[in-house]
């Protein structure tokens, strides 16, 4: 039984706006010398409760501090699990296996992502700072015991622009 729910590819205008915020934050992360990833968590009523940029780049970064994990963990400290069940995590790139696990364990009910893991791999190649998994987040969520709605990829070209030239 699959627990990752597929939905219509069409996004609401608010979804597009939130996804663009994540992409803009990823560009800001790049400008700050970080890996170009970012995520935000938005409650069902549209309130943004958490934003995070990637902080995994050496020497001061922690390799586990991906934007999605950080945003999800912060959101889980702020609101109850039943509130997070109606929340959406918007991210500039598809969550990796670690981040998908964090999303699952915090109880966030919906994910909207821009850049697919496959497209990211095309951009990063074999760069040792981003050894991507060939494991879509939908496959991670499908192994869980609760459903997580997944939308993506969307706005891939916009999200890819923050990576072009970074990984070379």
68 is catalytic: yes
pLDDT number for residue 3: 52
Residue pair 112/91 in contact by the 8 Å Cβ criterion: yes
Question: What is the pLDDT averaged over residues 138-167?
Answer: 96
pLDDT-based confidence at residue 4 (cuts at 50, 70, 90): low
Mean pLDDT of 41-69: 91
Confidence of residue 56 (pLDDT cuts 50, 70, 90): confident
Q: What is the pLDDT of residue 1?
A: 41
For residue 134, with 0-12 CB atoms within 10 Å meaning exposed, 13-18 middle and 19 or more buried, which class applies?
exposed
Between 6-20, 78-92, 136-150, the lowest mean confidence (pLDDT) is in 6-20
Q: Two tokens at 18?
A: 């939130």
The rounded distance, in Å, linking the Cα atoms of 28 and 136 is 25
Does residue 132 contact residue 96 with C-beta atoms inside 8 Å? yes
CA distance 49 to 46: 9
| 94 has pLDDT over 70 | yes
pLDDT at 35: 93
Dihedral angle at the C-alpha atoms of 37, 75, 132, 98, nearest 10 degrees? Answer: 170
Q: What is the mean pLDDT of residues 58-69?
A: 85
More confident residue, 60 or 155: 155
Catalytic residue among 6, 60, 68, 117: 68
Q: Average pLDDT, stretch 67-95?
A: 97
Q: What is the pTM of this model?
A: 0.93
Strands 110-115 and 88-93, by their bridges, are parallel
- What are the structural domains, with CATH classification, of the chain? 13-163 (3.40.140.10)
Instruction: Give the pLDDT mean for 27-47.
Output: 96
Residue of 60, 44, 46 whose CA lies nearest to 18:
46
What pLDDT was estimated at residue 2? 43
Residue-wise pLDDT for 6-26, tens only, equals 445 789 999 999 999 999 999
Does residue 158 have a pLDDT over 70? yes
């Amino acid at each position: 039984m699959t627990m990752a729910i597929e939905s219509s590819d069409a996004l609401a205008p608010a979804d597009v706006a939130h996804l663009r915020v994540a992409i803009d934050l990823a560009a800001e992360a790049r400008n700050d010398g970080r890996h170009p990833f970012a995520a935000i968590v938005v409650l069902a009523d549209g309130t943004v409760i958490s934003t995070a940029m990637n902080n995994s780049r050496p020497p001061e970064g922690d390799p586990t501090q991906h934007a999605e994990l950080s945003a999800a963990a912060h959101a889980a400290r702020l609101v109850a699990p039943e509130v997070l069940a109606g929340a959406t995590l918007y991210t500039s790139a598809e969550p990796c296996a670690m981040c998908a696990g964090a999303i699952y364990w915090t109880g966030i009910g919906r994910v909207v992502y821009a850049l697919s893991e496959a497209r990211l791999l095309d951009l990063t190649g074999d760069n040792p700072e981003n050894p991507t998994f060939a494991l879509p987040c939908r496959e991670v969520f499908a192994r869980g015991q609760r459903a997580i709605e997944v939308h993506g990829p969307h706005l891939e070209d916009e999200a890819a622009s923050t990576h072009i030239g970074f990984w070379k």
